[in-house]
Structure 1
Amino acid sequence: MSPKDPCQKQACELQKCLQANSYLEARCQAVLQELRKCCARFPKGRSAVCSGFEKEEEESLRLKSTPE
C-alpha cells in the first residue's frame, strides 16, 4: 500500500470549497494558499496532488529563462 499523500486533506478542502462556490477560484484563495503551503513543505514528487503546482512552477521558470 502506498503512503498517504501528505497534502490530500488540503486538496479535498479545495475541492469542497470550489464545489460550494460554483468553481470560482477567487472565493477559495485562502484554501488554495493552504494547499500551496503544504506543497512547499515537501520535496518534488512526494505529493501527487502537488504535481500541478510543480508543473506550473517549471513552466514559469522555463518562460523566464527564454530570451525575448
Structure 2
Amino acid sequence: MPQKDPCQKQACEIQKCLQANNYLEARCEAVLQEMRRCCAQYPKGRSICCSGFEKEERERETLKAAS
C-alpha cells in the first residue's frame, strides 16, 4: 500500500481556496505558503503534490544564478 502524500492536505486546501476565490491566486497566498512550508520539510520527490512547487523553486534558483 503506497504511503499517503505528506502534503496532500495542503494541496486540497489550495484547491478549496482557489475554487472559493474564482481561482485568484493572490487571495490564497496563505495556503500557498503553507504548501511551500510542507514541501520544504521533505526530500525532493517524496511528495507528488509538491512536484510543481519543486519546479517553481528550481526556476527561481536558475533566475537568481543568472542575475
Same fold (TM over 0.5): yes
State TM-score, norm by structure 2: 0.89
CA distance in 2, matches of 1:66, 1:10: 32
Match of 1:4 in 2: 4
CA distance in 2, matches of 1:63, 1:21: 30
Higher CA-based Rg:
1
Equivalent residue pairs, number:
67
1:56: Cα distance to partner?
A: 1.2
Indicate the RMSD between aligned Cα atoms, in angstroms. 1.2
Match of 2:48 in 1: 48
- Unaligned runs of at least 5 residues, structure 1: none
**Segments of 4+ moved more than 6 angstroms:** none
CA distance in 1, matches of 2:33, 2:2: 26
> What's the secondary structure of 1:6's corresponding residue?
coil
CA distance in 1, matches of 2:64, 2:36: 21
1:62: Cα distance to partner?
A: 2.3
CA distance in 2, matches of 1:44, 1:50: 8
- Unaligned runs of at least 5 residues, structure 2: none
For residues 1-68 of structure 1, what are the structure 2 equivalents within 5 Å?
A: 1-66=1-66
Letter in 1 for 2:34: E
1:28: Cα distance to partner?
A: 0.7
